[in-house]
Amino acid sequence: MTHQIAIESVLREKRLFEPDPAFARRANVPGQAAYRRLRKEAETDYQRYWARLAKEHVDWFTPWKKVLDWKPPFAKWFVGAKTNISYNCLDRHLEGPNAWRRNKAAIIWEGEPGDQRVLTFGDLHREVCKCANVLKGLGVKKGDRVAIYMPMVPELAVAMLACTRIGAVHSIIFGGFSADSIRDRVNDAKAKLVITADGGWRRGQIIPLKDTIDEALQGADSVKHVLVVQRTGQSILMKNGRDQWWHDQMKTASSDCPPAKLDAEHPLFILYTSGTTGKPKGILHTTGGYLVHTTVTAKYIFDLKEEDTYWCTADIGWVTGHSYVIYGILSNGVTSVMYEGAPNHPDVDRFWEIVDKYNVTILYTAPTAIRTFMKWGDKHVRKHSLASLRLLGTVGEPINPEAWIWYHRTLGKKRCPIVDTWWQTETGGILITPLPGCVTTTPGSATLPFPGIFADILDEQGKPVGTNQGGYLVITRPWPGMLRGIYGDRKRYKEQYWSKYKGIYLTGDGARKDKNGYFWIMGRVDDVMNVAGHRLSTMEIESALVSHPEVVEAAVVGRPDEIKGTAIVGFVTLEQGNEPSDALRQTLRQHVAKEIGAIARPDEIRFTESLPKTRSGKIMRRLLRDIAAGRGSVGDTTTLEDYSILAKLREAEEA
């Protein structure tokens, strides 16, 4: 059903937000003319352009012999060069003209219970060197895989950077995954060491990470040792010979550990992401290109300045946390804020308290979080000044215009540019985005490819589609941060991303381009429904539902329907103080028909207190599809954040 695409795009957003000249003057890419020059440079010779940026923004031990070796679908960037990411994130801020950064905050951390720690670049360097020596002592060598299953604590950053220091490959497994999922990932990567913690805090509760690891490691024979950070202090089992306390090991470790001089194509990390088949794919990233991509995009897109305090609210267990909590930010020598817990603990204004406490200047979060804040109500935001904020970013899914406008007005006080950044685990870094101060934005569009990135929208036959026609979003030339493969599965790598169009990367997203060339992402192609012969994006219908004043969040799925092929089912959460009713059901159906057209009118509206989400905030449409279709079993629910939602959704069905 998803393989003959001609997605009909029906939303039209007309509000435009011009760059503020005052912001533009001070921006790292200072305004439209500078932006056009950058684009021109990239379009003239993209390899030379990336090479220039690589020289200017990254330190290398040995220069490259060739910028790019491209034998589709296999790319090597900065061939022959040697570098080290922990060197770029740490050592270079302690030497030469930047030596003063030694005592600048690298990580400002806040635990959920309210405890705080600040690690300067000097502190972080010392901890990373010690940890690297601990890893060596436990038998970890260059190229070995280290699985990391940790809460959002500074030791997580230390562990990642320690791996990169010695050329070990980290595989971070998000703290919400179950024992079975961990076992699959540990076995797939044949990890030698696991780094974990006794537990972590979330909504006032302890998440028992070590217990889960113990269960996961039954049947994971590659693991020789488990290194355990003491975070919560509850009693856990320590297996003799296998398990080691972090603090014991660190006490005696030397803080002298020169960075390994690694090949630009040396593997950096594996990060598992779900594919259409259900078996997680180990996305493999390497050293040099990834570092260039994350460093440069962070600098230009977040307009990073020496004095910024930057906060990305993503968990490091997701790619956003890898690239834009740690690597791309620290390599620029900028302070990164890290928060351990939930946004509503102890109260729903925890984030705004953090912004004010540390004077956060740049905030990067997800549309689902933004909609949640809208639902909780503006008064919680208004209690705080937020005067320090100067730039806002979003990532993870298309942002519906209502949420964009709320972000702009209520959070940004109309003063902060918004960068809507499109990318994927596979892309390593941001690919489609406005540059603040340069690109006019419009709610719901990620606007234009970053200079040096070449994107297009193709039809089934591989021809570029016309203006405002939906099609497959593709990337037509290699880019430095691109995945180098699926770990241990060349065949799947080729098939999944490179088999539909020759030499062109298939993103799996549907999109359209407007008359200004702006990209509008329409969600995963798998989320596209065929309704009575017309293809519709679930996201566009959701956006229409959410634009109704009584609706705070909506998820739309298709249900098999005899006559139409697919019937549209909308799961809707109401703004506080509104009651579900039949009249409101009709109103909402009509509202969508009015916003988009009768073709998109939902056949069914179901009210629900909340939607099933992963802990990264993605709505689990797969589960909703099962519920909408009245199927009893709802498949794999290991990443679901709150199980009780499923029962409630089923109840709603009976009511």
Residue type, 412: G
Minimum CB–partner distance for residue 322 and ligand WT7 (Å): 10
Q: On the CB side of 440, how many CA atoms lie within 13 Å of its CA? A: 8
Using the rule CB under 6 A, give the single segment among 99-107, 177-185, 382-390, 501-509 that binds ligand WT7.
501-509
Residue that has been written with the tokens 């020289």 in this structure: 55
Cβ nearer to ligand WT7, comparing 110 with 420? 420
Q: Say whether residue 521 binds ligand WT7 (CB under 6 A).
A: yes
Q: What are the b/e assignments for 385-394, b being 16+ CB within 10 Å?
A: ebebbbbbbb
Residue among 351, 364, 422, 493 that touches ligand WT7 (CB under 6 A): 422
Minimum CB–partner distance for residue 542 and ligand WT7 (Å): 12
- Cβ-proximal residue to ligand WT7, closest one: 425
Q: What is the DSSP letter of 411?
A: I
Q: Say whether residue 294 binds ligand WT7 (CB under 6 A).
A: no
Q: Say whether residue 420 binds ligand WT7 (CB under 6 A).
A: yes
Binding residues among 436-455 for ligand WT7 as defined by CB under 6 A? 446
Sign of CA dihedral 294, 296, 300, 305: positive
Residue among 273, 388, 410, 578 that touches ligand WT7 (CB under 6 A): 273
Beta strands 225-229 and 193-197: pairing type? parallel
Residue among 8, 123, 397, 540 that touches ligand WT7 (CB under 6 A): 397
Binding residues among 213-232 for ligand WT7 as defined by CB under 6 A? none
Residue among 93, 145, 524, 548 that touches ligand WT7 (CB under 6 A): 524
Minimum CB–partner distance for residue 214 and ligand WT7 (Å): 28
Q: Say whether residue 302 binds ligand WT7 (CB under 6 A).
A: no
Q: Say whether residue 335 binds ligand WT7 (CB under 6 A).
A: no
Cβ nearer to ligand WT7, comparing 197 with 438? 438
**Phi/psi of residue 20, nearest 5 degrees:** -80, 125
Residue among 315, 340, 509, 626 that touches ligand WT7 (CB under 6 A): 509
- For the sheet containing 309-312, what is the strand order? 116-120, 105-110, 335-339, 309-312, 362-365, 391-394, 418-420
Q: Say whether residue 421 binds ligand WT7 (CB under 6 A).
A: yes
Pairwise CA distance, residues 567 & 628, whole Å:
10
> Can you say whether residue 533 is alpha, beta or left, with left for phi > 0 and alpha for psi between -120 and 50 degrees?
left
Q: On the CB side of 360, how many CA atoms lie within 13 Å of its CA? A: 32
Minimum CB–partner distance for residue 286 and ligand WT7 (Å): 18
Q: Say whether residue 319 binds ligand WT7 (CB under 6 A).
A: yes
Q: Say whether residue 424 binds ligand WT7 (CB under 6 A).
A: yes
Residue among 88, 331, 425, 547 that touches ligand WT7 (CB under 6 A): 425
Residue among 84, 295, 320, 361 that touches ligand WT7 (CB under 6 A): 320
Residue that has been written with the tokens 């606007």 in this structure: 447
Cβ nearer to ligand WT7, comparing 249 with 421? 421
Quote the tokens at residue 513.
Answer: 């381009």
Cβ nearer to ligand WT7, comparing 294 with 320? 320
**Phi/psi of residue 526, nearest 5 degrees:** -65, -20
Counting every residue written for the chain, the total comes to 655
Which residues 6+ apart lie within 8 Å of 200 measured at CB? 150, 151, 152, 153, 175, 206, 207, 209, 231, 232, 340
CB 328 within 8 A of CB 381: no
Q: Say whether residue 107 binds ligand WT7 (CB under 6 A).
A: no
Using the rule CB under 6 A, give the single segment among 253-261, 326-334, 415-423, 555-563 that binds ligand WT7.
415-423
Residue 98: is it exposed, middle or buried by C-beta count within 10 angstroms (0-12/13-18/19+)?
middle
Cβ nearer to ligand WT7, comparing 27 with 395? 395
Residue among 288, 321, 396, 434 that touches ligand WT7 (CB under 6 A): 396
Cβ nearer to ligand WT7, comparing 373 with 423? 423
CB 399 within 8 A of CB 419: no
Q: Say whether residue 423 binds ligand WT7 (CB under 6 A).
A: yes
Minimum CB–partner distance for residue 315 and ligand WT7 (Å): 11
Quote the tokens at residue 266.
Answer: 């040396």
Q: Say whether residue 615 binds ligand WT7 (CB under 6 A).
A: no
Q: Say whether residue 2 binds ligand WT7 (CB under 6 A).
A: no
**Phi/psi of residue 315, nearest 5 degrees:** -75, 145
Quote the tokens at residue 274.
Answer: 């779900």
Q: Say whether residue 507 binds ligand WT7 (CB under 6 A).
A: yes
Cβ nearer to ligand WT7, comparing 320 with 331? 320
Using the rule CB under 6 A, give the single segment among 326-334, 416-424, 561-569, 581-589 that binds ligand WT7.
416-424
Cβ nearer to ligand WT7, comparing 273 with 530? 273
What mask, x for binding ligand WT7 by CB under 6 A, covers residues 230 to 269?
----------------------------------------
Binding-site size, ligand WT7 (CB under 6 A): 20
Q: Say whether residue 154 binds ligand WT7 (CB under 6 A).
A: no
* Whole-Å CA distances, 369 to 394, 441, 533: 10, 21, 34
* Whole-Å CA distances, 131 to 138, 233, 497: 11, 21, 37
Residue type, 485: G
**Phi/psi of residue 244, nearest 5 degrees:** -130, 140
Using the rule CB under 6 A, give the single segment among 100-108, 390-398, 476-484, 540-548 that binds ligand WT7.
390-398
Pairwise CA distance, residues 337 & 359, whole Å:
10
Pairwise CA distance, residues 189 & 173, whole Å:
12
Minimum CB–partner distance for residue 206 and ligand WT7 (Å): 27
Q: Say whether residue 545 binds ligand WT7 (CB under 6 A).
A: no
Q: How many CB atoms lie within 10 A of CB 424?
A: 18
* Whole-Å CA distances, 353 to 340, 356, 393: 14, 5, 19
CB 283 within 8 A of CB 272: yes
CB 191 within 8 A of CB 171: yes
Cβ nearer to ligand WT7, comparing 155 with 527? 527
Pairwise CA distance, residues 240 & 253, whole Å:
20
Pairwise CA distance, residues 454 & 434, whole Å:
14
Virtual CA dihedral for 316, 322, 324, 328, nearest 10 degrees? 150
Cis peptide before 73 (omega within 30 of 0): yes
Minimum CB–partner distance for residue 280 and ligand WT7 (Å): 11
Residue among 284, 395, 439, 536 that touches ligand WT7 (CB under 6 A): 395
Pairwise CA distance, residues 517 & 515, whole Å:
5
Quote the tokens at residue 172.
Answer: 């971070």
Using the rule CB under 6 A, give the single segment among 91-99, 226-234, 421-429, 636-644 that binds ligand WT7.
421-429
Binding site for ligand WT7 (CB under 6 A): 273, 319-320, 395-398, 420-425, 446, 507-509, 521, 523-524
